[in-house]
Chain A
Amino acid sequence: MERDDIVEYSLDGHHSEEAGVKIRKKIWFVTALLTAITAVEVALGMMIKQGSEAWPIVKWGFIVLTMVKAGYIVLVFMHLGDERKSLKSVILIPYFIFIAYLIFILLWEGTAIGEVLSTYGS
């Protein structure tokens, strides 16, 4: 039986040949970018040793570059950038609130445990 109350969203993804050319161009651009970022990360990791003066900057640089990579993967490869704003919010906001909290609480706790162990011995 045909049902008229179901909207077939699966067909929304279809696009034309011309649009496909543009999309593929974007895909290859993102590929080059992700590869370049990874190469830069490895080069920096080889040149700058942990514990050196420049290390904290490099470390935070790595974390920022990771977020850039993650952003491109999620928004372009996973097409989240093309979805409705409500869907983006539903996925990203609860996740980031919880993860920011967890990072804060666990790293704080880890440091505190480390201090206790170094003061009183393990």
Chain B
Amino acid sequence: MAGHASKQIDSKTLWGGKTSPFSTSYGKLMMWFFLVSDALTFSGFLIFYGANRHSYGGSWPIGEETFNSLPFLGHGYPLIYVALMTFILIVSSVTMVLAVEAGHRMDKRGVVKWMIATIIGGFFFLGSQAWEWSHFIHGSDFGKVELNDGSLAIVKGHFGEIEHFTVTKAGDHHHVGDKITEDLAHTYKHAVSEGHLNNNVITLHDGSEATVEKHENEHLKLLVKEDGGTHKKGDVIEGNEAAVIYEGIVNSGDADRVIYGANLEENEYGPNQYAQFFFFITGFHGFHVFTGVLINILILMGAIRGVYHKRGHYEMVEKTGLYWHFVDLVWVFVFTFFYLV
């Protein structure tokens, strides 16, 4: 590690030509310069995110309200999942630095072992991110609702399970009395956002109508995010009032009063820009992780074939290590500014 870089050399010799004043190889120096420019790119994204957020004066989504789910376990675990992702990335950064350390001792087996561990960590992170995106795109069971006074609220609570739809008016595919049991939640949410649910009667794609057999939603809570005529930002509507308002909106038959999930045009979490930034920043970071995994695999193959051992040093491992640590570094900032603050 230390080596030449910490050796005392008088500055006349150091800067007098022939040697590198930084005491590093060309490749490592260029990797650092690339990382500085990439860091500027990410900083630009995150700072522009901050500028947008500041222009919304406080109605920006709150991380622990938006990201509170775990796979298989449902809701009510604020930030645990992203903390897990952060931990996975930190661990894979550690295994990378152990690979670099093994390389400095010319320990080929150590390099291979820790590189494999790093690659596995990278795949785990990518998988986690895929789940996170899917969850973000599909959204919650309740969506974001527009109240009668024009205010916007996000909804928390326990979603009553849908048992089935009973067809009451025949359409192209379904006959009266049919019980539909497949793809219920998706159909239901789609109908609600299109305004095809009216007094508990759902109009299906083929034109048939059906009644919805559904358990009641429980513990509903409306968190008002944007001012309307009567409700102001920060208001919380609870209890029976919340249930009356929410069920009224869902069963109103009006289109576009409930928004589920997220796409590039609208999202249930907050201003449109929020989801756009989410996709762009975490997507760009995820792309870096993906390329990092690919590069790690190439370097692993080189290490297995003994390319670096023959060369007499494992500096290639160190250089990819720099890139991999940088990816971890970026995630530390994304974690803070997208999820925590």
Contact = CB atoms under 8 A, between A and B. Distances in A.
Interface stretch (B101-109, B165-173, B174-182, B290-298): B101-109
B40 interface: yes
A117 to B, nearest CB: 7
B22 to A, nearest CB: 4
Interface string A53-94: 000000100110010011001101111001110110011001
B48 interface: yes
Nearest to A5: B18
Interface in A1-29: 5, 7-17, 19-20, 23-24, 27-28
Contacts of A95: 36, 39-40
B313 interface: yes
A43 to B, nearest CB: 9
A7 B19 contact: yes
B106 A14 contact: yes
Contacts of B29: 87
Main secondary structure of the interface of A (DSSP, over half): helix
A101 to B, nearest CB: 10
A7 B23 CA distance: 9
Contacts of B24: 9, 83-84, 87
A39 B156 CA distance: 25
Interface in B283-341: 312-313, 315, 318, 321-322, 325-326, 328-329, 332-333, 335-336, 339-341
A53 B5 CA distance: 48
Contact of B54 (A9, A15, A51, A114): A114
Contact of A63 (B43, B106, B339, B341): B341
A13 B3 contact: yes
Contacts of A41: 83, 336, 340
Which of B55, B57, B322 has the most C-beta atoms of chain A within 10 angstroms of its own C-beta?
Answer: B55
B19 to A, nearest CB: 5
B43 A14 contact: no
B237 interface: no
A94 to B, nearest CB: 8
Contact of A42 (B36, B83, B234, B325): B83
B78 interface: yes
A20 B105 contact: yes
A39 B106 CA distance: 35
B140 interface: no
Given A11-B312, A12-B5, A66-B336, A91 B36 contact: yes
B55 A114 contact: yes
Contact of B4 (A12, A31, A78, A117): A12
Contacts of A11: 3, 312-313
Interface in B73-114: 78-80, 83, 86-87, 90-91, 93-94, 96-98, 100-101, 103-106
Closest 9 A/B residue pairs (Cβ): A110-B54, A12-B3, A110-B51, A12-B4, A114-B55, A106-B51, A87-B22, A113-B55, A10-B315
Given A87-B24, A99-B40, A102-B44, 14 more contacts: A14-B105, A14-B313, A23-B1, A24-B98, A27-B101, A38-B90, A38-B335, A45-B63, A59-B341, A84-B24, A102-B43, A106-B51, A107-B50, A111-B55
9 contacts: A14-B106, A15-B1, A38-B335, A45-B64, A62-B336, A83-B22, A110-B55, A111-B55, A114-B54
